[in-house]
Amino acid sequence: MIQISALPAFTDNYIWLLQDHRTQRCAVVDPGDAAPVLAWLEAHPGWVLSDILITHHHHDHVGGVERLKAASGAKVYGPASESIPARDVALKDNDSVSVLGWDFAVYAVPGHTLGHIAYYHHGLLFCGDTLFAAGCGRLFEGTPEQMYHSLSRLAALPEDTLVYCTHEYTLSNLKFAAAVEPGNPNVTARLEKVTQQRQNGVMTLPSTIALEKLTNPFLRTAETLVTQKVDERAGAQNRAPSEVFAALRAWKDKF
């Protein structure tokens, strides 16, 4: 049985820690800082860090990789088309990797960065900064069309899939979702719940694909109320869902 825990890093990052209790081997996803991982290993004698999974090249996701590899000898997996420190295995779309006995499918999800990848194992998605709880990553390198396609691909995964993104952005994302769809009862209820969670210092992740499809405006670009709100703001009719997405992302960037 593999347990998944969050190791907080910086102000709002989560490093995901996968623990195989049968073998006392563990893996981490996007360790931007080595210190929280090393502290966990020190507090859990006998455990070995065997694998490091990277979704994209930004420093808050790769900053701890070299130190962790030097300390543990862990194998480093990352996107083939990006510069990933100490990478052992370069991954591209439709590759698969076996980590702690679990097979992960690799999805290319460009948008936030051009080489961004996600890791999917039945019921679990590690998606870095592509899909957030109630939001999506900024377009630092890719186009709106690329990000729209990437999000559509993730939204097509089974609805019970747990979404492990890497930032605690849920509250601010839901405030934007409420501005886009003020009449969406699912957004209202989730905003209320998440507001309470954050006041109590409780983590809001993981999410699920089902919950995202109900409350994440970036997965709801085909919904009439979303397109109407975008048209109202833009003063034009955005016919294609990717154009609605582009207008939403531009709005969110200034929200």
58 is an active site residue: yes
In the 8-state DSSP scheme, what is residue 111? S
State yes or no: cis peptide before 206, omega within 30 of 0.
yes
33 is an active site residue: no
61 is an active site residue: yes
The alpha-helical segments, DSSP class H, found in 156-208 are 170-180, 185-199
One-letter amino acid identity for 41? L
On whether the CB atoms of residues 251 and 229 are closer than 8 A, the answer is no
SS3 content of the chain, % helix, strand, coil (to 5): 35, 25, 35
Q: SS3 sequence, 206-242? A: CEEHHHHHHHCHHHCCCCHHHHHHHHHHHCCCCCCHH
112 is an active site residue: yes
User: Catalytic pick from 129, 149, 231, 253?
Assistant: 129
Q: What does the block give as tokens for 179?
A: 């501005």
* Residue where the block lists tokens 């209320």: 192
User: Catalytic pick from 57, 58, 116, 121?
Assistant: 58
Q: What does the block give as tokens for 100?
A: 């702690």
User: Catalytic pick from 57, 60, 116, 121?
Assistant: 60
User: Catalytic pick from 57, 61, 116, 121?
Assistant: 61
User: Catalytic pick from 30, 56, 116, 121?
Assistant: 56
User: Catalytic pick from 57, 116, 121, 167?
Assistant: 167
User: Catalytic pick from 112, 122, 231, 253?
Assistant: 112
CA 109/CA 157 separation, integer angstroms: 13
Bridge partners (DSSP) of residue 25 are 20, 48
Catalytic (active-site) positions: 56, 58, 60-61, 112, 129, 167
